[in-house]
Amino acid sequence: MAKLKELAVAGQSVWLDFIRRDMVTNGELEALIDEGVTGVTSNPSIFESAIAGSNLYDAAIAAADGDATSVFETLAVEDVRSAADALRGVYDATDGADGYVSLEVSPTLADDAEGTIADALRLWAWVDRPNLMVKVPATAAGIVAIEELTAAGVNINATLMFSLANYDAVAMAYVRGTERSETPERLASVASFFVSRVDGKIDAALNGIGTDEALSLRGLAAVANAKLAYRRYQEIFEGSAFDLARSRGARPQRALWASTSTKNPSYSDVLYVDELIGPNTVNTIPPATIDAFRDHGVVDPTALTSEVEAAEQHFASLASLGIDVDAITDELQVEGVASFAGAFDGLLAAIEAQQERS
């Protein structure tokens, strides 16, 4: 059995953390779907890489009217629609449980709840595919928007989560939204919990301390953080907090692991796949990490639910060393929002440059 299908047997969906328009036309996405990929995610950085890093869009940019923002949105919607159509068979076969493509609201709206709601509703209507998920950052304003958009019947991918408190707020916003929705049985949602960047920040703090104890704790925080988030998922969505929504036909909001390529070359290149396998989860995996997992990944269906007490102890050890994990995860979200805004500016600049050359 193909490795990606082994993950499906373990209850985990694999979504490709990449999109580019030639993937549909050259059959690459179809081949990945046949192998077990059941979704696609995008973000401003991915679109910057696709548009600015190739000549695939040059002719479309040259032929388009309007400013760089409107041109980008037209290109992005075309790509997302094509990917959604390619995944429609998965969506139908799973009765809407899987087969989604994500498109992010403008990163300039991260602190604007009303603006985020309006932008998400606009994109939802424009793409006009039932297997779209609109990505909304899990800022304070975003959490307000997540509840309102869920209540309005929009599928939401809540993104840029790093802390357990942030995860909890997002999950409960989804619960409240499903309780208010007129069609909760049609909703699907994921909570995108970011992984590798947590190790990057906490490892740097441990290196700064430099003791043997501190150095022995490196490379463990990201997986421990995800395991504790998954335990909270179980408490909410397998417990009484979801009773009303469940009785109305709503699906749980799945935990999704994001930023799963390993940044530290001394760690396994499949660390954030092997260690994060569990039922009713999603892992968004970039192409290079999918290749690595095919080659030497190990499927352990109990990975997420094992050694949870050790995960708790890990954070107690970090606290004893004076490491403020909450401050670090808050900083990571701020940096994540800024990074996507920067990528958005970069892709707009690339489009403007191409327009000037045309």
Tokens of 152: 């309005």
Q: What span, in angstroms and rounded, lies between the C-alpha atoms of 151 and 34?
A: 34
Tokens linked to 52: 């600015």
CA distance 212 to 222: 20
Identify whether the C-beta of residue 39 lies closer than 8 Å to the C-beta of residue 282: yes
Residue of 116, 135, 258, 252 lying closest to 184 (CA atoms): 252
Burial of 182 (0-12, 13-18, 19+ CB in 10 A): exposed
Length, in residues, of the chain = 358
Catalytic residue among 135, 201, 227, 263: 135
Please say if 135 is a catalytic residue.
yes
How many CB atoms lie under 10 A from the CB of residue 52?
Answer: 17
Short-list 101, 91, 131, CA closest to 21: 101
Q: What is the DSSP letter of 106?
A: P
* Integer-rounded Cα radius of gyration of the chain: 20
By three-state DSSP, how is residue 49 classified?
helix
Strand partners, 13: 282
Structure tokens belonging to residue 293? 């997992």
Active-site positions?
Answer: 135
